[in-house]
Structure 1
């Protein structure tokens, strides 16, 4: 069996001070949520010093990219722009002062995006697919990149019993339309990423189908980001709580990489880096760190 990787229109990207060639590598994005009610860590990084420490720890563990969030995706009361900014900007500033890692901010507010970019963020990760009509313009006026994520509900609102006739095709069409919106605002293709939004307004069967048919999304020609880590579809497949979803997360991430994903958003950084680097080697994108086994005249123990 061979794996055919999708062609990318602009595989080589300069993001902040780092250069990526997505035809030859996969970026690992670490998640740091500074919220008291985050999906996975449940507030463990809400204190500023804890959020900064988590971000720096992720860099040491091999993360190429750190995604900082101040508001959960899940339905709930809206958070003011001022409060969201107060949560994320100090983390961005502290991390930027210590590292050249790619920093993204998970926000759907144009003003939060603007202040985050001023603080040193180099990517805006919008999980609502440009629900704020001003956000694309803010990114366009900067050197930052934009991740466009598929979701159907208004921000922080419920979306019961989602239905799709063809989830991969419908997600692709949504993303293609939002990409055109971003282009019209002035963001070039070499600063755009797409994310099919596993679990976001989708049930478990939809998320599994998106993994199997990820080539429909990658055919857009832009680097595809997947955010799978510890999500509910993994819990439902394996019947396990969030604390026991690592293996399912790694299997899902590797399946997506073999099917063309080029950025993987994760909670457990060290384990994910190892899995993704192995997947790169399987694809022929990475040389082994060592080459000793059965390479000499004498067998080595």
Structure 2
């Protein structure tokens, strides 16, 4: 059986001076990790777990099976990778701090807004403008509901929904990401002024998507979803959801690179809520720092999702603001570069407070050793 390795940050630090410099700056952001675990899995089962700090990394890697040495070095380098900014049209999206992507759903059956932005384009444009004014780094436009049980959408209908929204967002000078799993929709959106693809099927459902993204040279978010057909929520059976999703994303990253997509244009999303139980979602949120070992920026979409209702007396989607902000902050604490949210103003405010606290911790010289 082939051994698989996972370098998991298990202890974060307020600042490097707290640990006298024995820290790693995760993914070039504002989060520092002091303790790590080198986890080895064989046949779907964990067979060893060796804890270490950065000063002891070389010794920990020497204790691993020889065949895992190159992977250990690759993941260790990935954890410390500083990501280059995303260039979305005229907008430069820095990835050394958390960014907020505002959601604009143009569907008749959205679980969060009831289709009002599709039926009234003026209201959709006003909503996009409000999100940008509130501090959204980009607008993420979706023309198909992917909630459990939602019917698949014909490509022509999806194009008719998405393209007008792209056009009015482009007229505002927005950075635009389009949430679609169809190459035809993405191609039309790029022609209309979009800049980035967000494929919830991980570029698997439409075999032309990976080639389109490579040919057009646009950045892409690859999201995990277990279903291989129209139902993205199917087949959600895991030996260990964290490690299985990690391996799946690694494979899709490698497939994208092999297809000619530049590595610096690939972001990853563990796909909260897609074919995952509440326990699965919580496990992924708690293990988010591990996913930096894949070497790509992370986008996290937890806003208003079912897991919040499950933990808060079945609160309806429009009553999940507190939970959405809590999960966005959790993602920031894990070093995620982009949080995808409905409630932009509230999330940006929370991000700014979080950023102030991080800056204060990093400049608190009272924590330096004597």
Asked if TM exceeds 0.5, the reply is yes
Aligned pair in 2 of structure 1 residues 160, 148: CA closer, same or farther (>3 Å)?
closer
Assess if the C-alpha contact under 8 Å between 1:63 and 1:269 holds in 2: yes
1:19-78 CA deviation, whole Å, 9 max, x = no partner?
23312x211000010011012112121222222222122111111110001001123332
For 1:136, the equivalent position in structure 2 comes to 210
Assess if the C-alpha contact under 8 Å between 1:122 and 1:143 holds in 2: no
Offset at 1:170? 0.8
Between the two structures, name the one with larger relative contact order (CA 8 Å, sep ≥ 6): 1
Offset at 1:158? 6.7
Match of 2:308 among 234, 238, 257: 234
Aligned pair in 2 of structure 1 residues 180, 225: CA closer, same or farther (>3 Å)?
same
Question: How far apart in 2 are the matches of 1:138 and 1:212?
Answer: 34
Match of 1:202 among 276, 280, 285: 276
Aligned pair in 2 of structure 1 residues 212, 286: CA closer, same or farther (>3 Å)?
same
For 1:299, the equivalent position in structure 2 comes to none
Q: Is residue 2:40 matched to residue 1:40? A: no
Question: How far apart in 2 are the matches of 1:96 and 1:21?
Answer: 20
Q: Is residue 2:129 matched to residue 1:56? A: yes
User: Runs of 5+ in structure 2 lacking a partner?
Assistant: 1-12, 15-30, 34-78, 364-370
Q: Is residue 2:249 matched to residue 1:221? A: no
1:84-116 CA deviation, whole Å, 9 max, x = no partner?
0010011101110122x2101100001111111
Matched residue count: 286
Assess if the C-alpha contact under 8 Å between 1:147 and 1:195 holds in 2: yes
Q: Is residue 2:89 matched to residue 1:16? A: yes
Offset at 1:160? 5.7
* More deviation, 259-268/40-49: 40-49
Question: How far apart in 2 are the matches of 1:287 and 1:281?
Answer: 10
Assess if the C-alpha contact under 8 Å between 1:18 and 1:102 holds in 2: yes
For 1:284, the equivalent position in structure 2 comes to 359
Aligned pair in 2 of structure 1 residues 154, 285: CA closer, same or farther (>3 Å)?
farther
- Flag the structure with larger Rg: 2
Q: Is residue 2:102 matched to residue 1:27? A: no
* Higher helix proportion (structure 1 or 2): 2
Question: How far apart in 1 are the matches of 2:122 and 2:362?
Answer: 37
1:130-162 CA deviation, whole Å, 9 max, x = no partner?
121211111111232100000011354274683
For 1:84, the equivalent position in structure 2 comes to 158
User: Runs of 5+ in structure 1 lacking a partner?
Assistant: 289-301
For 2:56, the equivalent position in structure 1 comes to none
